[in-house]
Amino acid sequence: MTTTTPETIDDTVDDTNDRHSAKMRKKKAARDRLMADKAGEKGLLIVHTGPGKGKSSAALGMVLRCIGHGMPVGIVQFIKGAMDTAERSVLEGFPDLVTVRALGEGFTWETQDRARDVAAAERAWAVAADMMADPKIAMVVLDELNVVLRYGYLPVASVLEAIAARPPLQHVVVTGRNADDALIEAADLVTEMKLIKHPFRAGVKAQKGVEF
């Protein structure tokens, strides 16, 4: 190995090749990101959290924007049901631009099977990681990932590492209640959706076009 740039020499001395290449990837991503920043272009890490409505809807609104710009989008649903078949059917009308993968097995209080939930989360994460490794994908939506992290089904550190190593112009949108502090710290844009008033409390059932 003939490393000549001074900042990499110390790092590699005690590392295996695997660890080294992971580090190099991170460094390259950081450098690329810095260069991109200078040109004013930057892939943003966006978090929609809080107990209010609109976290996934606002992500969908951004997907619509990307479609309008001809920017390819990847969507991974970590919890089943967060995105309805109605929305999916519209998005599937743009097969060249939008890829939707739903891998959640349903809410945990329904499945009550932690091992199965962890396995589902890991499968979903593998798909997400592939999308985040593809510089052709302009935006990756990780729908309800916060919930999965909250339950400890995926390690926050690996998720943050993959997000940091993504292509520098790629936007990542993470939705779900109770976003991890480290994710908020890493994010560029964080919105908390706060619930002021909700019709279910007044005995009104979920309405087509609004809730699903």
Q: Is 134 in the site for a copy of itself (CB under 8 A)?
A: no
Q: Shortest approach of a copy of itself to residue 115 CB, angstroms?
A: 33
Part in contact with a copy of itself (CB under 8 A); list of ranges 1-9, 84-92, 126-134, 156-164? 84-92
Binding-site member from 144, 171, 176, 183 for a copy of itself (CB under 8 A): 171
Which tokens belong to 24?
């190099």
Q: Is 139 in the site for a copy of itself (CB under 8 A)?
A: yes
DSSP lists the bridge partners of residue 48 as 175, 191
Tell me the residue ranges of DSSP E strands in 10-83. 45-49, 73-77
Interatomic CA distance for residues 96 and 73, integer angstroms = 9
Which tokens belong to 182?
């480290």
Residue identified by tokens 């631009």 is 97
If DSSP codes are grouped into helix, strand and coil, which group holds residue 100? strand
Q: Which phi and psi (to 5°) does residue 205 adopt?
A: -80, 170
Q: Shortest approach of a copy of itself to residue 51 CB, angstroms?
A: 10
Binding-site member from 19, 116, 136, 198 for a copy of itself (CB under 8 A): 198
Binding-site member from 21, 26, 35, 41 for a copy of itself (CB under 8 A): 41
Q: Which phi and psi (to 5°) does residue 190 adopt?
A: -125, 125
Q: Is 89 in the site for a copy of itself (CB under 8 A)?
A: yes
* DSSP H/E element including 142: strand 139-143
Q: Beta 98-102 vs 73-77: how paired, if at all?
A: parallel
Q: Which phi and psi (to 5°) does residue 104 adopt?
A: -70, 155
- Cβ distance to a copy of itself smaller for residue 125 or 167: 167
Q: Is 178 in the site for a copy of itself (CB under 8 A)?
A: no
Which tokens belong to 100?
């939707």
Q: Is 199 in the site for a copy of itself (CB under 8 A)?
A: yes
Q: Is 95 in the site for a copy of itself (CB under 8 A)?
A: no
Radius of gyration of the chain (CA): 19
Q: Is 155 in the site for a copy of itself (CB under 8 A)?
A: no
Part in contact with a copy of itself (CB under 8 A); list of ranges 14-22, 88-96, 117-125, 143-151? 88-96
Binding-site member from 21, 30, 61, 152 for a copy of itself (CB under 8 A): 61
Residues that bind a copy of itself (CB under 8 A): 37, 40-44, 46-48, 50, 52-54, 56-62, 64-69, 71, 84-91, 138-139, 171, 184, 187-199, 202, 204-205, 207-210, 212
